[in-house]
Amino acid sequence: MRIEYDAVVVGSGPNGLAAAITLARAKCSVLVLEANAMIGGGARSAELTLPGFIHDLCSAVHPLAAGSPFLKTLPLERLGLTWIQPDIPLAHPLDDATAACLHRDIDLTAAQLNADGRAYRRLLEPLERNWENLSTEFLQPMLHLPRHPFALARFGIPAVCPATLLAKFLFKQHPARALFAGIAAHSFLPLEAPVSSAFALVLGMAGHAVGWPIPRGGSQAITNALADHLRELGGKVDTNHRVDNLDALPKSRAVLFDVSPCQFIRIAGNRLPKRYHERLQRFRHAPGIFKVDYALNSPVPWKAESCRRAGMSARSRVEKFPSARLCWWRSKVSLTKRAHRVVNIRCGRTAMSHSTARLTCRTASKRRLSGSPPVSAIVFSRDTA
Ligand SMILES: Cc1cc2nc3c(=O)[nH]c(=O)nc-3n(C[C@H](O)[C@H](O)[C@H](O)COP(=O)(O)OP(=O)(O)OC[C@H]3O[C@@H](n4cnc5c(N)ncnc54)[C@H](O)[C@@H]3O)c2cc1C
């Protein structure tokens, strides 16, 4: 049997490309196979509405990419990736037409939270100071010997709490609780679920340490830079190449799968050890999400000025735990010289029916995005000019 590649990677999402680059840097010959016509998986962008209006298909805001110890070692800027840092990473619109904001500056964030400012600073400041150490702990496989156990313990104790519990315990007033919940809601876990605080803490400290930047031109810019770097290192990427079974793969020493457990079973099921196969079969996907993309002829008319300056606006309530949550996004992607505005509304963990979600979107947009949507909701918006 003639070995054609040292490694084949199935799937060209950001993780597949990162794995391929790691191998190529170690002088291995690598082939990435992608089922879609476009590479990138969840980090793709395309004209989904009108010509010239570029929308991200999934991921849009990238604190963890910007803070990733691995990505920092790659020459992605040289290959066309430009990070846009909005004035304010995140704003949480409040009912009185003001907003609670996650600023880059922790003092500024604490100052607007009035009585809760001290508690906010006590929680986030030590974590932000330790971002370099903590990010290397989070952004590697879960099971490992921690190199920074004390920093990790300081993070881990509040992180295991449900976001609702921690927010209510630490904060007395609505703005701080709402801001914390809005950040935690990015996990798409119910806010009353254990460990949902971890997401608020990681994304909160990332907001202060590295911001919540957006790639100019959309998330595809990250993918394209990764793929270009892989090619520079001698790797190959083949699109429109769906892998249906192991026998169809080119001969290689190793195969890496950047696919979901269910997809993996379909491809390799008959070759997997029984117990591993059973474990994969027990994997359950979270409830589905969907998003609605709009092309806009003007910016979203937020009442709160800070929402207009924020890369993203997220809305959620800790007091009333929604089983259904709704996200709003706004983005302005400048691909050519003209800046375009797009908005997408994303609904997640929809215990509500699609028709309720549609109604919610419609009602909320009639309210010109300025008042409270009729269900407890997360509202995201982003700006990528
Ligand atoms: C709506 C939404 C919004 C998100 N927003 C953000 C955000 O703002 N910021 C953020 O950091 N993250 C966000 N995420 C998460 C982010 O998109 C994922 O974490 C990321 O894409 C995971 O990358 P991956 O490489 O593991 O897998 P994926 O990106 O899923 O890539 C897997 C790839 O494998 C390919 N594939 C699957 N089966 C086969 C096969 N049989 N043969 C060949 N190829 C195959 C797929 O086509 C796909 O390209 C969001 C996710 C969603 C769904």
pLDDT of residue 304: 92
Query: Are 278 and 265 in contact, with CB atoms under 8 Å apart?
Result: no
What distance in angstroms lies between residue 43's CA and the mean position of ligand 1's atoms? 6
pLDDT of residue 317: 53
Q: Which residue puts its alpha carbon closest to atom 1 of ligand 1?
A: 58
Query: Are 161 and 200 in contact, with CB atoms under 8 Å apart?
Result: no
Task: Indicate whether residue 375 lines ligand 1 (CB < 6 A).
Answer: no
pLDDT of residue 357: 34
- N-term to C-term CA, the chain: 52
Q: Tell me which of 56, 59, 256 to substitute to probe ligand 1's pocket, judged by most ligand atoms within 8 Å of the beta carbon.
A: 59
What distance in angstroms lies between residue 18's CA and the mean position of ligand 1's atoms? 13
Name the residue with higher pLDDT: 341 or 30.
Answer: 30
Task: Indicate whether residue 62 lines ligand 1 (CB < 6 A).
Answer: yes
What is the average per-residue pLDDT within 29-36? 98
pLDDT band at 65 (very low <50, low <70, confident <90, very high): very high
Task: Indicate whether residue 263 lines ligand 1 (CB < 6 A).
Answer: yes
The percent of residues in the chain predicted with pLDDT above 70, rounded, is: 81
For residue 122, count other CB atoms closer than 10 A to its CB.
11
Q: Residue ranges per domain, the chain?
A: 5-81+217-281, 105-209
pLDDT of residue 366: 37
d(CA 125, CA 103) in angstroms, rounded, equals 13
pLDDT of residue 306: 92
pLDDT, tens digit (0-9, with 9 covering 90-100), for 157-197: 999 999 999 999 999 999 999 999 989 988 778 888 999 99
Q: Which helix (H) or strand (E) holds 65?
A: helix 63-66
What distance in angstroms lies between residue 12's CA and the mean position of ligand 1's atoms? 9
Task: Indicate whether residue 58 lines ligand 1 (CB < 6 A).
Answer: yes
Please state whether 26 falls in left (phi above 0), alpha (psi between -120 and 50) or beta: alpha
Q: Which residue puts its alpha carbon closest to atom 19 of ligand 1?
A: 42
Structure-block tokens of residue 342: 């797009």
Mean pLDDT, rounded, of the chain: 83
What distance in angstroms lies between residue 13's CA and the mean position of ligand 1's atoms? 5
Task: Indicate whether residue 161 lines ligand 1 (CB < 6 A).
Answer: no
pLDDT band at 381 (very low <50, low <70, confident <90, very high): very low
Nearest atom within ligand 1 for CA of residue 244: 41
Task: Indicate whether residue 265 lines ligand 1 (CB < 6 A).
Answer: no
Nearest atom within ligand 1 for CA of residue 17: 25
pLDDT, tens digit (0-9, with 9 covering 90-100), for 320-369: 433 333 344 433 333 333 333 555 555 443 333 333 333 333 333 333 33
Least confident of 91-95, 149-153, 274-278, 336-340: 336-340
pLDDT of residue 144: 86
Task: Indicate whether residue 242 lines ligand 1 (CB < 6 A).
Answer: yes
Structure-block tokens of residue 103: 């600023």
What distance in angstroms lies between residue 86's CA and the mean position of ligand 1's atoms? 24
pLDDT of residue 299: 80
Chain centroid, CA 283 distance in Å: 21
Name the residue with higher pLDDT: 348 or 121.
Answer: 121
Nearest to 344 by CA among 378, 307, 385: 378
Q: Which residue puts its alpha carbon closest to atom 20 of ligand 1?
A: 42
For residue 273, count other CB atoms closer than 10 A to its CB.
8
pLDDT of residue 343: 56
**Strands 83-84, 214-215: pairing kind:** antiparallel
pLDDT of residue 311: 85
Name the residue with higher pLDDT: 46 or 380.
Answer: 46
Fold of 5-81+217-281: FAD/NAD(P)-binding domain (3.50.50)
Task: Indicate whether residue 243 lines ligand 1 (CB < 6 A).
Answer: yes
What distance in angstroms lies between residue 100's CA and the mean position of ligand 1's atoms? 30
pLDDT of residue 345: 53
pLDDT of residue 26: 98
pLDDT > 60? residue 237:
yes
Task: Indicate whether residue 215 lines ligand 1 (CB < 6 A).
Answer: no
Name the residue with higher pLDDT: 317 or 248.
Answer: 248
pLDDT, tens digit (0-9, with 9 covering 90-100), for 288-313: 777 788 788 888 888 899 998 888 87
Q: Which residue puts its alpha carbon closest to atom 48 of ligand 1?
A: 41
User: Is 205 strand, coil or helix?
Assistant: helix
